[in-house]
Amino acid sequence: MRIMALDVGTKRIGVALSDPLKITAQGLETFQRTTLEKDIAGLWQLIDDHEVSQLVVGLPKNMNGSLGFKADEVQQFIADLTAERPIEVIWVDERLTTVSAERALLEADVSRAKRKKVVDKMAAVIILQSYLDRL
């Protein structure tokens, strides 16, 4: 069984997946959001295809540690995702993960157009790897 990480945004969801031994995180895809029903169906398809037993979800906190409206949106999305099919959800503070992903892509000299396509997936990798490192 694997662990999947989600970096949930309003337009895209970055998805990362652990290896079977739960040591390393790899970017899986950047999922374009459409409708709630399609988003949920698409994520459950990925969860089933990759035999995922846990979801690690980035929780967007404010810099002072409080939860704002973005955190509420992510929590509601995950509540909708898990409403009919339960799966263990682990919340991880995602402050600055997108900034870290952007910085890594800039250092790798990735073009702006390509960065936009993969930054959410890279943020999910950072979220998942930080969780795996703590296990």
pLDDT digit string, tens, across residues 9-32: 899 999 999 999 999 999 999 989
118: pLDDT strictly greater than 90 = no
Tokens linked to 102? 């952007």
Contacts of 59 (CB under 8 A, 6+ apart): 67, 71, 74, 75, 91, 92, 93, 94
Q: Is the pLDDT of residue 105 over 90?
A: no
Ordered structural domains, the chain, with CATH: 2-134 (3.30.420.140)
* pLDDT: which is higher, 110 or 119: 119
Average pLDDT rounded to a whole number, residues 38-51: 96
Name the pTM for this structure.
0.84
Higher pLDDT, 109 or 73: 73
Q: What is the pLDDT of residue 84?
A: 86
Q: Is the pLDDT of residue 115 over 80?
A: no
Q: What is the mean pLDDT of the chain?
A: 85
Residue 85: per-residue pLDDT: 92
Q: pLDDT, tens digit, for every residue of 54-99?
A: 999 998 876 676 677 788 899 999 999 999 899 999 998 876 566 5
Round to whole Å and give the CA distance between 3 and 54: 5
Cα dihedral 55→61→63→68 (10° resolution): 170
